[in-house]
């Protein structure tokens, strides 16, 4: 692996890609677009049928929002988070390769062919003969190991840096594509004694294991005990210092591949935070779940969307409760209306009664005296 340190101040994820690739060569056609004749409707139908034949050799496609664009990512199949999956997802998110919007699954064969086509488009005309021959040899080596990445690759990390690995033939593919391979299994410099053991020979994992050897009396040496304790306490293959170093070495909005627990994950840095791409098949129908946070070694992660915002489960609307509330309010309004109507009727009745009562009293005061009241006209019987 190249130990070149990325420059700072990049705003988009593919800015770092351009900086890395420009050190080697340029690309005649920087984008492999599978919406061409090779990926026409007929090919899509063939790929869809392959899903019924061999689920292990097919990736489901999930469409997400990332960098303010709708982009596809591939989800894990039976091979799990393999190197091929992580590489393909970075190229898709970098917009180095495209998939047609009507595609729901894609075969491993097509993924490998698409990445190979992208590699073969690199322009070597500006290289001298010696460099061109060397580079063409690297391309052939990369194309030879590319199909093997669907299941895994040999990785022998070193504990003195998050970008330190023992070089293997498979690492050539990361160099050619300008993708950093990282890990977080790094010794904290504050552990002076263990740091001295690691730094003295820049030990790799395999070399560190070889140092755990019993003495003649069957007991482990002080050095072996320290190494064994470190490996047991950090079985997750991630340390707090490793997380700090990952955040330091990565530039903002950079995409890389993180090796951990024999898995290869797509890691993204955004606003000084680290995120891992969620590629589990179970989240296929959850487009708002895109990343999960990487903040500690205990897997206390939180789901986020494609912008790094914390994902919140949507609360379903209780339409039954809303309907019952509306009905109750309507009935209350009707009841208030009837009460007001009744009150107005009572008021009108009271006013009418009072008016009639006063009228009767007035008539009684103005009535003329009758003959019965006239004593002079009284009839006397003899």
Name the DSSP class of 291: E
Q: How many of the other CB atoms lie within 10 Å of CB of 220?
A: 15
Torsion of CA 170, 247, 281, 284, to 10 degrees: -130
Q: Are the beta carbons of 126 and 150 closer than 8 angstroms?
A: no
Q: Is 63 domain-assigned?
A: yes
Q: Is 216 domain-assigned?
A: no
Q: Is 223 domain-assigned?
A: no
Active-site residue set: 82, 263
Q: Is 339 domain-assigned?
A: no
Name the DSSP class of 345: H
Predicted pLDDT at 197: 84
Q: Which residue has the higher pLDDT, 308 or 352?
A: 308
Q: Is 89 domain-assigned?
A: yes
pLDDT band at 198 (very low <50, low <70, confident <90, very high): confident
Q: Is 324 domain-assigned?
A: no
Closest to 175 in 3D by CA, of 137, 138, 125? 138
Q: Count structural domains, the chain.
A: 1
**39-43, 261-265, 333-337, 355-359: segment of lowest average pLDDT:** 39-43
How much is the CA Rg of the chain, to the nearest whole Å?
A: 41
pLDDT, one tens digit per residue, over 125-167 is 888 888 889 889 999 999 999 999 999 998 999 999 999 999 9
Alpha-carbon distance 135 to 123, whole Å?
11
With b for 16 or more beta-carbon neighbours within 10 A and e for fewer, the 15-52 pattern comes to: bbbeebbeebbeeeebebebeeeebeeebbeebeebbe
Alpha-carbon distance 111 to 161, whole Å?
31
User: Which residues form the domain of 77?
Assistant: 58-185+237-304
Give whichever of 83-92, 192-201, 203-212 has the largest mean pLDDT.
Answer: 83-92
**63-77, 128-142, 361-375: segment of lowest average pLDDT:** 361-375
Q: Is 86 domain-assigned?
A: yes
Predicted pLDDT at 300: 83
Q: Which residue has the higher pLDDT, 298 or 70?
A: 70
Q: What is the DSSP string of 243-266?
A: HHHHHHHSPTT-EEEEEETTEEEE
Predicted pLDDT at 344: 74
């Amino acid at each position: 692996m190249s130990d070149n340190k990325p420059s700072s101040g990049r705003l988009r994820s593919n800015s770092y890609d351009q900086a890395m690739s420009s050190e080697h060569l340029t690309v005649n056609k920087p984008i492999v677009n599978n919406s061409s004749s090779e990926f026409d409707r007929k090919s899509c139908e063939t790929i869809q049928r392959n899903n019924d034949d061999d689920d292990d050799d097919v990736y489901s496609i999930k469409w997400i929002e990332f960098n303010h664009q709708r982009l596809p990512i591939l989800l894990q199949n039976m091979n799990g988070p393999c190197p091929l999956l992580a590489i393909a997802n970075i190229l898709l998110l970098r917009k180095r390769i495209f998939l047609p919007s009507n595609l729901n699954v894609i075969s491993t064969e097509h993924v490998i062919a698409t990445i190979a086509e992208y590699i073969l488009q690199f322009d070597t005309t500006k290289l001298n003969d010696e460099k061109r021959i060397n580079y063409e040899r690297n391309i052939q080596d990369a194309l030879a190991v590319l199909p093997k990445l669907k299941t895994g690759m040999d990785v022998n990390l070193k504990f003195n840096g998050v970008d330190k690995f023992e070089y293997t033939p498979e690492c050539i593919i990361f160099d050619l594509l300008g993708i950093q391979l990282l890990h977080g299994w790094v010794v904290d410099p504050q552990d002076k004694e263990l740091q001295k053991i690691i730094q003295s020979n820049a030990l790799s994992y395999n070399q560190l294991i070889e140092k755990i050897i019993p003495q003649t009396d069957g007991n482990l040496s002080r050095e072996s005990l320290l190494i064994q304790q470190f490996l047991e306490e950090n079985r997750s293959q991630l340390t707090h210092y490793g997380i700090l170093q990952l955040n330091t070495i990565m530039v903002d909005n950079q995409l890389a591949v993180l090796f951990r627990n024999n898995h290869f994950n797509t890691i993204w840095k955004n606003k000084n935070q680290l995120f891992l791409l969620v590629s589990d098949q179970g989240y296929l129908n959850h487009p708002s779940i895109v990343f999960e946070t990487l903040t500690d070694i205990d897997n206390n992660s939180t789901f986020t969307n494609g912008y790094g915002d914390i994902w919140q489960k949507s609360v379903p609307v209780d339409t039954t409760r809303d309907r019952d509330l509306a009905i109750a309010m309507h009935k209350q309004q009707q009841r208030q209306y009837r009460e007001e109507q009744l009150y107005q009727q009572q008021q009108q009745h009271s006013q009418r009664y009072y008016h009639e009562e006063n009228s009767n009293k007035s008539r009684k005061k103005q009535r003329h005296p009758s003959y019965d009241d006239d004593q002079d006209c009284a009839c006397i019987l003899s």
